[in-house]
Structure 1
Amino acid sequence: MAHDVQNYNLDQKFEFTPALKKPIMTVLVIGAVLLGIGIVMAMMGGGHEEAAGEAGGHAFHWYERVFANLWINNIYFAGIAIIGVFFFAIQYAAQAGWSAPIIRVMLSLGNWLPYAAILTIVTFFVANHDLFHWTHSYLFDKSSPEYDSIIDGKGAFFYWPMEKGTFPVFYIARMVIFFGFWVFFFNKLKSMSYAEDGITDNSQWFKIRSWSAFFIIFFAVSSSIAAWDWVMSIDTHWFSTLFGWYVFSSWFVAGLSAMTLLTIFLKGLGYLEMVNENHVHDLGKFVFGFTIFWTYLWFSQFLLIYYANIPEESVYFLERLSSDVYGPFIFVNILVNFVLPFLVLMTRDSKRHGVFLKLVCSLIIAGHWVDFFLMVQPGTLGHNGGVGLIEVGMFLLYGSVVTLVVLSGLSKGNLIPKNHPMLEESYHHHI
């Protein structure tokens, strides 16, 4: 390796000191307190009767709101975690050189995956009847007054090979298989990446490249089906043919923002000396570009449903736009996830300065949580949803726990893959 790269400390390790843990723990405690107060207030408020037909037409209970929020945060943060692994794999599959010093920052997001898997599967077993309308057996019973022919027609997608309305074997098998393989690929790529530090030839790089290609193929299929299973099936009657893309784009922008924040955070602490404003600019371009991609998909989905005006499709947007609870959040969603990032990151300079990126990426991470909130709550809670102490508390709680897990994982090995064959190219990266 050429002399100039050797000027840097390539054996640098991130030290997760108590001083760094303190602010994260503070946010965790604040989140837990807000969540606790929110739950107590919801319990004191008691359940009130719902209009029949909305969210099952039953008395509403405080724990349903807790379950809905658990689901939003599980799916949202699982997505950010898997995007870190996906973006890492993309760098190898594309033989990208610019990103060599930050690929382990990307991969570190995957440390959350095992926890996400357990939390999501447990939440499903505890809360499935409160989250997913299709889990009620009476919908599949032709003699029942609540029989639903549309859901019955889709039943095999959840219950095969069992009888519809019994135990959703097919659905749970998919959840376990997807998470199982995601965790497997994350561990495989991580161990190969760290093993590269002890190998001076390029053999490991080629190995990681072929494993990355397998992962990307699996991810392409699994992320789409996961979006249908975990989010779209909440509104069982409704479907959108580009929903898999839509959820992926929302995850992707949030994941890119998390990687950008993490890179800037590490730079600020004096790590990653090799990373300069050109690398940061590239991350900013990704965030900017995929913000527009997300908006394009949001608008495509909305426009097609709007001008076709087919009742079974348009109900999804009517439920949200005409609601006092969710209507305003549709505009918050567009403003925070498109208008602000688009205007702020349009110039070259803003993508090269940490201050702009920190602001925009923090907003995007909160903004795409709102996107998932809008996908999940209307179908689970009807008009009993909204953003209150439970929502804010649980988002802060999850966010801080995920941060602790990711940074702990990052501190366990070298920050920079010192034998990566493209470090030299990355050192000379200039745009």
Structure 2
Amino acid sequence: MDQFTFTDKSKKLFIGLIAVGVIATLYGIFSGQGARTWTSAMISGWFFFGIALAAVFFIGVNNAAQAAWGVVLKRVFEGVSMFMPYGTLLLLIVFLGATFHWNHIYHWMDQTLYDPSSSHYDDIIAGKEAYLNLPFWWIRAILLLGVWNLFTFLFRKRSLVEDQEGKTSKWFKKNLTLAAIFLVFFGYTIHIGSWDWIMSVDTHWFSTLFGWYIFSGIWVSGIVMVLLITIFLKKNGYLKEVNDSHIHDMGKWVFAISFLWTYLWFSQFMLIWYSDIPEEVTYFLVRLEDYGLTFWGMVLINFIFPMILLMSKDMKRNAGVLTFVGVIILFGHWMDSYFLFTPGVMKDQGVIGLVEIGMMLGYLGLFLFVVFNQLTKAPLVVKKHAFLEESLHHHIN
């Protein structure tokens, strides 16, 4: 089958998940847990936005590297990437809430912190005012989100036009140029976004590795999500062009980027912990003292499961194993997103309960509804890509 059909059964399931998210949100608001609800919105909002952004990045990488193997998966990456506008809206809601002090995710937005005559004056935060001020912060946010969405739209539009017009050499060159520009822009701005929207939650703290750490987390989450959707499509009779070698390559990406994430996590943790500088080590002290079991559990899930279960070639080709590991890894990286925000906002009062899980399921339902709807808008396999034939005959011994 070439054209994907978004079944009523799937629609009802995803709408049901969205309803769970709405109920969890309303429960959090009307039970007087506003801070917890806003924090959960940021946790899941960033997590699913990051997956969409990672899909755009992977499209750019494949175009720039002139990679053939992933051409038959291109439409799935595009479908995932098209959640970007919705993820952007979800982030903007939280950002507006912080700006108008409906939430206090970004402590530095309190203007009394910059007034030397105020009892709330904070010398460290005041010293960052040239960068952390609302007008400049919003300019950066609009620039990053706007340009990322523009590239997402252009990659998708050109892919569809290429299928209609052919002229593969023309579009190949255009996409190569577009990808090169995007990757340079992305290489800088993923760091800026991670500083502005995540690291600034713990305003006193900073890490020069942080942008790379965030990048690796969204990258592996994006690959896992595309892999799980691909397996689902194949199981339901679609994507017959995708063979074991394509699945194997995706499994290798999950395995490799999981190691990259672990390397960056350990490098950041070890250097800060070993140096024991009070203003730096506090970041991890809070997480270990107040969230120790779940914090270490998150690290082990994101490293041990892919390391052990995806070590062999056969496991990287086994749809059942990949699905099992993929679901666990996705939850593990959602937990990573939880630890990026919760300790800085909720201090020692954070939990993973009905509000967090319910809202995560709601965001998941919205994400899958959008992606599946996008998959119906074009054939599941591109028709006139320059490397299509090579991708169709991709084989690994």
Instruction: Tell me, yes or no, if structure 1 residue 146 matches structure 2 residue 120.
Output: yes
From 178, 184, 209, the counterpart of 2:144 = 178
Distance of 2:26 and 2:327 partners within structure 1: 25
Distance in 2 (CA, whole Å) between partners of 1:328 and 1:39 is 28
2:347 is the alignment partner of 1:382: yes
Question: Where in structure 2 are the equivalents of 1:11-30 lying within 5 Å?
Answer: 12-30=2-20
Asked if 2 retains the 8 angstrom alpha-carbon contact of 1:35 and 1:392, the reply is no
Corresponding position: 1:77 with 2:48:
yes
Q: Percent identity?
A: 41
Instruction: Tell me, in whole angstroms, the C-alpha distance in 2 between the residues paired with 1:388 and 1:23.
Output: 22
The answer for unaligned runs of 5 or more in structure 2 is none
1:135 aligns to what? Answer: 109
8 A Cα contact 2:28 2:37, kept in partner: no
CA contact (8 A) 1:38 1:388 kept: no
Counterpart of 2:218 in structure 1: which amino acid?
W
Matches within 5 A, 1:250-399: 250-323=217-290, 326-399=291-364
Figure out how many residues of one structure are paired with residues of the other and give that number: 392
SS of the equivalent of 1:156 reads coil
Aligned AA for 1:236?
Answer: T
Q: Answer yes or no: is the 8 Å Cα contact 2:162–2:384 preserved in 1.
A: yes
- 2:212 is aligned to 245
Which shows bigger deviation, 121-130 or 107-116?
A: 121-130
Q: 1:424 aligns with which of 381, 389, 392?
A: 389
Deviation at 1:37, TM superposition (A): 4.5
> 1:51: which partner in 2?
none
Gaps of 5+ in 1: 1-8, 44-61, 160-167
1:39/1:390 contact within 8 Å kept: no
How far is the alpha carbon of 1:20 from its aligned partner? 2.5
2:25–2:37 contact (8 Å) kept in structure 1: no
The structure with more radius of gyration: 1
2:67 is the counterpart of 1:96:
yes
Compute the displacement of 1:25 (Å). 2.5
After TM superposition, give the deviation of residue 33 of structure 1 in Å: 3.8
Q: Is the 8 A contact 1:13 1:414 kept in 2?
A: yes
Instruction: Indicate the RMSD between aligned Cα atoms, in angstroms.
Output: 1.4
Structure 2 length-normalised TM:
0.96
- Structure 2: which amino acid aligns with 1:65? R
Cα pair 2:28 2:36 within 8 Å, conserved: no
Cα contact 1:196–1:204 (8 A) shared by 2: yes
Distance 1:291 1:331 in 2: 16
Residue-by-residue CA offset, 1:17-69 (whole Å, 9 max, x unaligned): 212223223333344444444555x43xxxxxxxxxxxxxxxxxx10111111
Residues in 2 aligned to 1:35 and 1:137: alpha-carbon distance in whole angstroms? 28
Give the AA of the match of 1:417. V
Q: Report if aligned partners of 1:100, 1:417 keep a CA contact under 8 Å in 2.
A: yes
Distance 1:331 1:250 in 2: 16
249-258 or 102-111: which moved more?
102-111
| Stretch moving more, 17-26 or 78-87 | 17-26
**Cα offsets for 1:343-394 (capped at 9, x unmatched):** 1111111100110111111111111110011110011111221101000000
CA distance in 2, matches of 1:151, 1:137: 10
For residue 128 of structure 2, give the secondary structure of its aligned residue in structure 1.
helix
Question: Take 2:160 and 2:256, find their aligned partners in 1: how far apart are those partners?
Answer: 31
**What letter corresponds to residue 152 of structure 2 in structure 1?**
F
| TM-score, scaled relative to structure 1 | 0.88
Contact 2:28 2:34 in 1 (8 A): no
Q: Distance in 2 between matches of 1:148 and 1:96?
A: 50
> Any idea what the Cα deviations from partners look like across 1:79-132, whole Å, max 9, x if unmatched?
111111110111110000111111111121121111122221221111344111
Tell me the distance in 2 between the aligned counterparts of 1:87 and 1:389.
Answer: 33
Q: Deviations over 1:245-297 (max 9, x none)?
A: 00111111111100101111111111111100100000000001000100000
